[in-house]
């Protein structure tokens, strides 16, 4: 984007953050061709909270919709949820999730993110994973931000077919096809 006047930049910044509240200050500074400090000052002027607060706000609105698992059991921040249709979550990885030697994120964190999002999108009181067909496509390095997108592709009786794709930037690093089964727990 070419340099624009401050008033125009402020209007565009507000519009862009409204459309995609998950852009970092670094990404916004690159987009506008200004320093990160300028973006921070612009955000303050517009009363736009920092990224962490924007994510937390959106996530809080979505956790109340989840039925099949507890909100605290979702791996990552749940940023969008439409039961029986789709969902999106974010996970900022760090060194505690990675192998010390290679700095690669351990697969169980990536799988847990995908499975918990798949569980969150289905409209059932209790569900279990019946089948999981997964593929790790590219290693994830510590510090990378994961974006998981789940889609319910079919419902057949008590079975929910959910596809989950996880990206880093625009590169797919994981894909999973889950069959989740809604179960009715009888109390004794």
| pLDDT by residue, tens only, the chain of 188 residues | 556 788 888 899 888 888 777 788 888 888 888 988 998 899 888 888 887 777 666 656 655 666 677 767 888 988 888 899 999 999 999 999 999 999 999 999 999 999 999 999 998 888 899 999 999 999 999 999 999 999 999 999 999 999 999 999 989 999 999 999 998 766 54
Give the rounded distance of the alpha carbon of 160 from its chain centre.
20
Question: Is there a domain that residue 85 lies in?
Answer: yes
Residues 44 and 79 both lie in one domain:
no
Position 2 scores a pLDDT of 58
Give the rounded distance of the alpha carbon of 75 from its chain centre.
9
Q: Which CATH number do you get for residue 44?
A: 1.10.10.10
Position 17 scores a pLDDT of 84
Question: Is there a domain that residue 102 lies in?
Answer: yes
CA distance 129 to 115: 8
Structure tokens at 136: 């790790």
Question: Is there a domain that residue 12 lies in?
Answer: yes
Q: Per this entry, what is the length of the chain? A: 188
Residues 61 and 118 both lie in one domain:
yes
Question: Is there a domain that residue 134 lies in?
Answer: yes
Residues 78 and 44 both lie in one domain:
no
Structure tokens at 61: 């609105």
Q: Which CATH number do you get for residue 120?
A: 3.10.129.10
Question: Is there a domain that residue 1 lies in?
Answer: no
CA distance 133 to 86: 18
Classify the C-alpha dihedral 179-119-142-61 as positive or negative. Answer: positive
Question: Is there a domain that residue 187 lies in?
Answer: no
Residues 143 and 76 both lie in one domain:
yes
Q: Domain range spanning residue 131? A: 54-182
**Considering its fold, how many domains does the chain have in total?**
2
Asked if residues 76 and 148 have their Cβ atoms less than 8 Å apart, the reply is: yes
Residues 143 and 82 both lie in one domain:
yes
Position 57 scores a pLDDT of 67
Residues 72 and 146 both lie in one domain:
yes
């Amino acid at each position: 984007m070419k340099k624009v006047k401050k008033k125009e930049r402020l209007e565009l910044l507000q519009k862009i953050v409204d459309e995609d509240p998950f852009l970092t200050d670094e990404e916004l500074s690159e987009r506008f061709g200004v320093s990160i400090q300028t973006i921070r000052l612009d955000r303050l002027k517009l009363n736009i909270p920092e990224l962490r607060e924007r994510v937390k706000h959106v996530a809080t609105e979505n956790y109340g919709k989840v039925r099949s698992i507890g909100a605290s059991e979702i791996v990552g921040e749940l940023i969008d949820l439409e039961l029986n249709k789709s969902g999106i979550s974010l996970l900022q990885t760090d060194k505690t999730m990675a192998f010390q030697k290679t700095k690669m994120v351990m697969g169980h964190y990536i799988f847990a993110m995908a499975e918990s999002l798949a569980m969150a999108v289905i409209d059932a009181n209790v569900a279990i994973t019946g089948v999981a067909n997964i593929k790790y496509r590219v290693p994830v390095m510590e510090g990378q931000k994961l974006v998981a997108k789940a889609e319910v592709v079919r419902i057949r009786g008590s079975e929910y077919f959910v596809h989950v794709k996880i990206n880093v930037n625009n590169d797919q690093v994981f894909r999973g096809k889950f069959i989740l089964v809604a179960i009715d727990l009888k109390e004794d």
